[in-house]
Amino acid sequence: MIFDKRSLLLFVSNALLLHLMLMINSSITFAGFNLFVLGPIFIIAPLYLRADQFFITSLLTGFWVDAALPTPFGLVTFLLLTIGSFILLIRLRFRAEKNFHPSLLAHVANLIAGLTLLYFSVSTNFADFVVLLSTSFIELAISHLLLLFVAPWFFNFQRSLFSIFDTKTEPESLPFV
C-alpha cells in the first residue's frame, strides 16, 4: 500500500492533542503558567509505521504544531524527525502494544522538546536560560504529572482509532521496511 491510513489517523489525533493542550493553556492563563504535554505526539508514529509513512506523519504534525506554537518555525518539525528517527532505529527494543514503554518515551520526549523549545524561544545566553529554567521548574513538574494521565489515554485513543477504522493494529516488525 502506498499510503497507510494510520498516518492520517495519527496526524488527526496529534492535532487533537495539540488543540486540547492549547485550550487548557488558554483557560488557565489566570494562573500565569503554561502546560506542555506534547510528548505523546513523538511516540506512536515511529513505533507503528514504516519509515516513509513516519516521515510523512512527522512532517505534517510538525508543521501543524509549528504553526500553532509561538516558537521558531521548523523547530518542532526538526525535533519530531530527530527524536522519532532515534526511536525508529531502536523500536524493536520497546513493546509498543502496552503503555509502559510509550509512556516512558513520552516523558523523555516531552522533557527534551520542552527544554529545547524553552531555550530557543527565549533566545538568551545559557546563564539566563538556567535562571529561567529554575523559575519554570513548577510548569515542568505539573506538565509531567499531567502527562502521567494524558499519555496512556492518548496511546489507547490512537490504538482504538486503528481498530475503529479497520487498519493494521500491530506495529511494523522491522525498522527499515
Where in the chain are the domains?
A: 5-164
More confident residue, 173 or 34: 34
> Quick one: DSSP state of residue 165?
T
36's grid cell: 506542555
pLDDT at residue number 177: 45
Mean pLDDT of the 5-22 span = 95
Residue spans of alpha helices (H) in the chain: 5-27, 44-48, 51-68, 75-89, 100-122, 126-135, 137-164
The tens digit of pLDDT for each residue in 74-132 reads 999 999 999 999 999 998 888 888 889 999 999 999 999 988 888 887 766 767 777 77
Q: How far apart are CA 104 and CA 109, in angstroms?
A: 9
